[in-house]
C-alpha cells in the first residue's frame, strides 16, 4: 500500500472543503456567482493581511507578485535594496536587475537573519533607496526575519517602500501590514492557504499606490492600477484561476473560523515540536531565528540530506524538501505550513526516526516522538 503525504514547504496539502469546491461544475468568471465568491475572498484576504488596502488576487505564482510589486511601485532609474540570505530574498534583486534598476544586495550568510542595526548602516549609505525588499520567512533556510523592527528602520532612515515577501509568512506569523508599516505584502496560494498553486496575492499601502502613478517600467499583464480598478468591481482584468478562487473562499472561511490567534499558535507549536524532534535525532538546526513555516536542518555526520529525502519518499511515502544551492548536500527541510495538526508532526518525525535508523544512525526508538510530544503536552 502506498500512502502519500506532502510535508514540503509548498505546495501544501489541500483540505477536503477546498477539494470539493474545486470538484463542482466550473462557473464563469464574468457571472454574478463568481462576483459573490470574489467579494467574499477579497474581504477574507484583507482580514488575513490585517489591512484596509485592497489585496489583489493575481493569476500567477508567487514570483509573479514580486515582479508585479517591483514594476508597479518603483521607477527604472531607482535604487532597490535587496536583503539576501537565501534563494527568495536574493530573487528580488534579480528581478530588479532584470528591469534595469540599481540594485544593492545586502549579503547575509544563509541561515542567519538580518539585524535591524545592519539595515540602519546600509540605509545610512543608501538613503536614496526607493525600495527595500525582504523575504520575511526565507523558505530556503527556515529563517524568519524581525520584520517589525526592520520596517521601523526603513521608515526612520529612508522614504523607501518596504516590500515584504510573505509567501511563507502570511497565515503563519503575525504580520499586521497596516500596523507595522509594511508597504507591499505578497502571498501565494500554495502555502498557508493550502490550495493549489495558481494565485498570488499583493497588497499595497497608500504611499505605494502614489508611486504607482509615476512608475515607468514596461508592463501589461501586471498593470496593477488597471487590476485594482477591476477588482473593486469583484472582477479581474483577465481570466483568473477560477477553481483556485473557489477553493480560496473555502479556506479563508476555515481560517476565520479557527481564528487568527489559534491559527498562528497552531503553526508555532507544530514548528517547535518539529525542531525538538529533529534535534533529538541529531540534526543541527540551520536558522538563527526560526520560521514557523518550515524547519531546515543539517543531517548528522555521515548522512546526507538527499539520502534522507529520498528514503522518506521511497520508504515512508512522505515528501519533504532538500536543501538548495550550497546547502543541497547537507540539508533537509520539513514544511509545517498550512493545514497541519500535531498528528501530522508526530507522523513525519516517526517516519524520520525510522529512516535514520535504516541509515545506520544511533537513534533510540521514540526519541523524536517524545521530544515533540513534550512540546505538545506543555500547552
Ligand atoms: C518565501 C518564498 N518566496 C517566493 C517563492 C516563489 O514562489 P513561486 O514558486 O510560487 O513563484 C517561494 C516558493 O517556494 C517562497 O517560499
Q: Is the pLDDT of residue 17 over 80?
A: yes
For a mutational test of ligand 1's pocket, the pick from 11, 67, 88, i.e. the residue with the most ligand atoms closer than 8 A to its C-beta, is 88
Per DSSP, which regions of 272-365 are E strands?
284-285, 294-298, 318-319, 321-322, 331-335
Task: Determine the Cα–Cα distance for residues 311 and 340; give it in Å rounded to an integer.
Answer: 22
- φ, ψ for residue 345, nearest 5 deg: -70, -40
Q: Is the pLDDT of residue 264 over 80?
A: yes
Task: Determine the Cα–Cα distance for residues 362 and 226; give it in Å rounded to an integer.
Answer: 60
Ligand 1 centre and the CA of 165: distance in Å?
Answer: 9
pTM: 0.98
Q: Is the CB of 61 under 6 A from ligand 1?
A: yes
| pLDDT band at residue 263 under the 50/70/90 scheme | very high
What is the reported pLDDT for 3? 84
Do residues 247 and 27 lie in contact, with contact meaning Cβ atoms separated by under 8 Å?
no
What is the reported pLDDT for 1? 57
Ligand 1 centre and the CA of 4: distance in Å?
Answer: 23
What is the reported pLDDT for 210? 98
Average pLDDT, integer, range 9-14: 97
| pLDDT band at residue 328 under the 50/70/90 scheme | confident
What is the reported pLDDT for 65? 98
Mean pLDDT lowest for which of 71-85, 259-273, 318-332? 318-332
Average pLDDT, integer, range 244-259: 98
Mean pLDDT of the chain, nearest integer: 97
Task: Determine the Cα–Cα distance for residues 85 and 72; give it in Å rounded to an integer.
Answer: 25
For a mutational test of ligand 1's pocket, the pick from 59, 86, 140, 168, i.e. the residue with the most ligand atoms closer than 8 A to its C-beta, is 168
Q: Is the CB of 86 under 6 A from ligand 1?
A: no
260-378 in CATH: which number? 3.90.1150.10
What is the reported pLDDT for 143? 98
Q: Is the CB of 63 under 6 A from ligand 1?
A: yes
User: What is the share, in percent, of the chain residues with pLDDT greater than 90?
Assistant: 97
Residue 130 CA, distance from chain mean position = 24
| pLDDT band at residue 325 under the 50/70/90 scheme | confident
B/e letters for 321-356, b = 16+ CB within 10 Å, e = fewer, are: bbbbeebeebbbbbbbbbbbebebbbbbbbbbbbbb
Looking at per-residue pLDDT, the higher value among 3 and 56 belongs to: 56
Ligand 1 centre and the CA of 191: distance in Å?
Answer: 9
Please, how many CA atoms are within 13 Å of residue 231, restricted to the half-sphere of its CB?
A: 23
What is the reported pLDDT for 237? 98
Q: Is the CB of 316 under 6 A from ligand 1?
A: no
Second-level CATH architecture of 16-257: 3-Layer(aba) Sandwich (3.40)
Task: Determine the Cα–Cα distance for residues 131 and 66; give it in Å rounded to an integer.
Answer: 12
Residue 45 CA, distance from chain mean position = 15
Minimal CA–CA distance to 180: which of 157, 158, 201, 153? 153
Ligand 1 centre and the CA of 325: distance in Å?
Answer: 15
Q: Is the CB of 89 under 6 A from ligand 1?
A: no
What is the reported pLDDT for 327? 87
Average pLDDT, integer, range 270-274: 98
Domain locations in the chain as residue ranges = 16-257, 260-378
Q: Is the pLDDT of residue 2 over 80?
A: no
Q: Is the CB of 11 under 6 A from ligand 1?
A: no
Amino acid at each position: 500500500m502506498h500512502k502519500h503525504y506532502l510535508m514540503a514547504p509548498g505546495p501544501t496539502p489541500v483540505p477536503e472543503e477546498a477539494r470539493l469546491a474545486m470538484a463542482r461544475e466550473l462557473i464563469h468568471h464574468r457571472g454574478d456567482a463568481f462576483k459573490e465568491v470574489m467579494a467574499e475572498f477579497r474581504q477574507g484576504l484583507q482580514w488575513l493581511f490585517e489591512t484596509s488596502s485592497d489585496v489583489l488576487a493575481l493569476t500567477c505564482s508567487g514570483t509573479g507578485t514580486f515582479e508585479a510589486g517591483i514594476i508597479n511601485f518603483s521607477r527604472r532609474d531607482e535604487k532597490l535594496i535587496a536583503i539576501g540570505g537565501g534563494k527568495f530574498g536574493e530573487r528580488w534583486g534579480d528581478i530588479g536587475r532584470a528591469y534595469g534598476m540599481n540594485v544593492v544586495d545586502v549579503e547575509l550568510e544563509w541561515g542567519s537573519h538580518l539585524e535591524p542595526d545592519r539595515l540602519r548602516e546600509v540605509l545610512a549609505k543608501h538613503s536614496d533607496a526607493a525600495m527595500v525588499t525582504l523575504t520575511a520567512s526565507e523558505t530556503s533556510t527556515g529563517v524568519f526575519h524581525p520584520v517589525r523592527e526592520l520596517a521601523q528602520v526603513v521608515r526612520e532612515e529612508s522614504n523607501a517602500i518596504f516590500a515584504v515577501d510573505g509567501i511563507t509568512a502570511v497565515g503563519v506569523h503575525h504580520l499586521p501590514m497596516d500596523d507595522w508599516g509594511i508597504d507591499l505584502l505578497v502571498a501565494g496560494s500554495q502555502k498557508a492557504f493550502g490550495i493549489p498553486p495558481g494565485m498570488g496575492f499583493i497588497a499595497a499601502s497608500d504611499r505605494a499606490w502614489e508611486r504607482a502613478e509615476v512608475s515607468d517600467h514596461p508592463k501589461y499583464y501586471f498593470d496593477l492600477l488597471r487590476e485594482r480598478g477591476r477588482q473593486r468591481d469583484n472582477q479581474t482584468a483577465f481570466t483568473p484561476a477560477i477553481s483556485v478562487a473557489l477553493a480560496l473562499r473555502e479556506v479563508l472561511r476555515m481560517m476565520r473560523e479557527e481564528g487568527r490567534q489559534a491559527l498562528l499558535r497552531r503553526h508555532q507549536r507544530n514548528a517547535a515540536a518539529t525542531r525538538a524532534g529533529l534535534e533529538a535525532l541529531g540534526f543541527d538546526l540551520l536558522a538563527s531565528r526560526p520560521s514557523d513555516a518550515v524547519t531546515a536542518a543539517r543531517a548528522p555526520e555521515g548522512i546526507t540530506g538527499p539520502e534522507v529525502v529520498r528514503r522518506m519518499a521511497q520508504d515512508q511515502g512522505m515528501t519533504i524538501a532538500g536543501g538548495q544551492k550550497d546547502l543541497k548536500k547537507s540539508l533537509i527541510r520539513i514544511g509545517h505550513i498550512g493545514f497541519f495538526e500535531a498528528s501530522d508532526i508526530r507522523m513525519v518525525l516517526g517516519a524520520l526516526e525510522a529512516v535514520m535508523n535504516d541509515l545506520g544512525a544511533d537513534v533510540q526508538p521514540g526519541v523524536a516522538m517524545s521530544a515533540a510530544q513534550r512540546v505538545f503536552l506543555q500547552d
